[in-house]
Structure 1
Amino acid sequence: MEWYQLTNAAQIDSPAVIVYKDRIAENISLLKTMIDDVQRLRPHVKTNKIAEVVQLMLAEGIQKFKCATIAEAEMLGMVNAPDVLMAYQPVGPKIVRLLELVQKYPQTVYSCTVDSRDAALAISDTFSSQGRRLPVYLDLNVGMNRTGIRPGKAALELYQYLHTLPGIEPAGLHVYDGHIHDTDMAVRKEKCDAAYAPVAALAAQIADSGLPQTVIVAGGSPTFPIHAGRDAIQCSPGTFIFWDWGYGKNLPEQPFKWAALVLSRVISVIDNTHICLDLGHKSVAAENPQPRVHFLNAPAASPVSQSEEHLVLQVADATQYPVGTVFYGVPLHICPTVALYEKAYVAEKNAVVANWRIVARDRQIIV
């Protein structure tokens, strides 16, 4: 029997996401071997969004985490994570919600990112009105062109400005270089080093200006091995926990195991070479071109069309896949796929033994 096959699959309605607990544990152990100090790890929880998965990391000595939403931040507070960076600039009601998190979960040290004076001032006003100071990281744009301020004079001035605000405690620099994902490791490292150079220069300028030495949180999965080789940098891979087909193909130097699959079934045999599965847009991340999932037990199957609840595949011989046949698929992109499900079924030794709520898929838990 293959590692992914379930002896009790008949009890699992489809489509479903299955997580393999032993392989998750192996991925956490592998991650720890790829860095010199576990305290330099700050995994992003956007991939898993599951409290029980975070608890597995906590049990392995990982104390720092990164997230992108208030719900993810609250999930981390619920399991007593010591240190949580929300790598997102809160605006509007999110500032108040972040304050409420700080108040509700005092055992967790929360922080966030900023890239503008207006946002920093609004955060400071909200927190100082309650006699609090929130740790804040300056978000730097090193080519992702999504959020952040370019490293340089303006960034230095903004970081200095943060020190004048009563409701903010400047904590360091945040750098996400997600635009760098070349398969060739030499090319990826060259681009990563070039993007990081102005960050290091800014950190030196901050120190030269008389301010405390900055903490630097850098990278995601593609650049994790590169930043792991730097001194003292905190690293933020996320996908490692489940891995997926995209990174498995494009990042061969990182031998993590697939630990989350989508389970689906044949719901119709169309003709001799076409079948239909119950795996539509609502069941697997649909932001990428096809193929969006690779089927471990039908690797030659190719997608023909997909709609909200259906996936039509072309196969060599449809008689091999009668109605009801279970398909096990590795998503191209696991992070948004997990967010499509309310719960994950937990597999151990080829059987589902429990289910875990994907609690942080919601925009709001309590706060």
Structure 2
Amino acid sequence: MVLPKHGGRVRISLTVRELERHLDQTYFIRDKDEIPSPSLVVFLDLVKKNIDRAIEIVSGDVSKLRPHTKTHKTAEIIQLQLDAGIAKHKCATLREARMLAEVGVSDIVIAYQIIEPNIERLVKLMQNFPEANFKVIVDHPTVVDQLSSAIDQNSLQLKVMIDLNVGMHRTGIEVGNAAVELYAKIDQSKGLHAWGLHVYDGHIHDSNPMDREKSCQVTLGLVSDFKEMLAERGLDVPIVVLGGTPTFPIYAKIPDVETSPGTFIFNDYGYSQKYPDLGFIPAALLLSRVISIPTSGTFTLDLGHKAIAADPKDDRGKIMDVERVEVSIHNEEHWTIKIDDKNNNIDIGEEIFVMPTHVCPTVALHEFYYVIDADGHLIDTWKVAARNRN
């Protein structure tokens, strides 16, 4: 597979610095007193802009998009994507898969190898939602046998994709004869249908778009080689699901490929810093409050690591409206910040916005989103329906 040449300039997103300068306009909330802290606040117009941007990146061809549910875990956001014409979705957990089916999504890839006893839960899910077209991924022959036994015993049919390891070494099987035999085994197993390739490239972290494209070319070469090996055995590859948020604009240029960005829906501080070329705007912030000023050079927020993801270790979020800060202590319910006392006038109860560095695990720490409209009004709360795995 060879990448086509770029078809024009990529629009650049607002940088975090620009967002800070326009904080009052971009993240204005009229009803702060109605929102407890710490809380996860979602700006609806920015979420919609990010959906529009993803569609723009694939040149309006929504069939190229299979967004990952793991970031938002919320029925209302699935509905926003469905309303935009995005019909195919991907998830990591059976609870996410159930939520997708409950909303009415009919084409669902569960991008996580399901083993016993969860295979029985998969069977029940398929029985409860017969109109949904579930697909799963595998990287080991034992799992193929377990799936085939359970699916055939219950007179069901299941499409199964092979999970390729193209360099991340987290899951998947490497390109080679063993992978070909695994794919053939799926094709020959009762109740199962070999249905293509799932390829996640989470090891690609290049900030420079040209370097990122070179890294993606390596992945595409592996995929192309494997498809040729399968073709020599007469094995069909109906779909290829490739990439995540950083790389999906590159893979979207390739024919017969679906892309599965996830973080794009909210973006976060980490991706805003590392991938500004993507054009997505951070759409979810944490609202916290100052609960203590223990010394003249410190203040403490009610934003412990039970409310913001504890990864990465050193830079868990951008404190957006305070100058020259340094993290001092981060505990379960407290986050103590060092400040330049000469340039900051912090008061007890003051609201502080924090942009999480990693929004996906941050979401799972909250039961609800507080949803803000374009005029700054609190208009709804959305349940993070799939935050639990079961």
TM range (shorter): over 0.9
Alignment of 1:65-144 (within 5 A): 65-144=89-168
2: distance between equivalents of 1:292 and 1:330?
A: 9
Aligned match of 2:369 in 335, 339, 344?
A: 344
In the comparison of the two structures, how many residue pairs are matched?
A: 364
Q: What residue is the counterpart of 1:16 in the other structure?
A: 39
CA positional deviation for 1:248: 0.5
CA positional deviation for 1:316: 1.8
Verify the 8 A CA contact 2:137 2:161 in the aligned structure 1: yes
Task: Give the 3 Å change call, closer, same or farther, for CA 168–299 of structure 1 in structure 2.
Answer: farther
Alignment of 1:234-253 (within 5 A): 234-253=258-277
Verify the 8 A CA contact 1:19 1:347 in the aligned structure 2: yes
Q: What residue is the counterpart of 1:221 in the other structure?
A: 245
Verify the 8 A CA contact 1:124 1:133 in the aligned structure 2: no
- 1:41 partner letter: L
Q: What residue is the counterpart of 2:4 in the other structure?
A: none
- 2:197 partner letter: L
1: distance between equivalents of 2:237 and 2:187?
A: 13
Alignment of 1:1-367 (within 5 A): 1-36=24-59, 37-317=61-341, 320-348=345-373, 349-364=375-390
Per-residue CA deviation, residues 253-281 of structure 1 (Å, 9 max, x unaligned), is 11101110011000001121100000001
- 1:195 partner letter: T
Per-residue CA deviation, residues 217-273 of structure 1 (Å, 9 max, x unaligned), is 010111111111211210000000000000011012111011100110000011211
2: distance between equivalents of 1:324 and 1:144?
A: 44
Verify the 8 A CA contact 1:115 1:147 in the aligned structure 2: yes
Verify the 8 A CA contact 1:181 1:223 in the aligned structure 2: no
SS at 1:120 equivalent: helix
- 2:367 partner letter: E
2: distance between equivalents of 1:299 and 1:358?
A: 32
2: distance between equivalents of 1:290 and 1:321?
A: 23
TM-score with structure 1 length normalisation? 0.97
Per-residue CA deviation, residues 277-297 of structure 1 (Å, 9 max, x unaligned), is 000010100021222111222
1: distance between equivalents of 2:322 and 2:108?
A: 40
Per-residue CA deviation, residues 294-315 of structure 1 (Å, 9 max, x unaligned), is 1222253221110000000112
- 1:69 partner letter: T
Structure 2: state its 5+ residue gaps: 1-23
1: distance between equivalents of 2:371 and 2:117?
A: 35
Q: What residue is the counterpart of 2:21 in the other structure?
A: none
SS at 1:283 equivalent: coil
Verify the 8 A CA contact 1:291 1:302 in the aligned structure 2: no
Verify the 8 A CA contact 2:196 2:236 in the aligned structure 1: no
2: distance between equivalents of 1:47 and 1:363?
A: 13
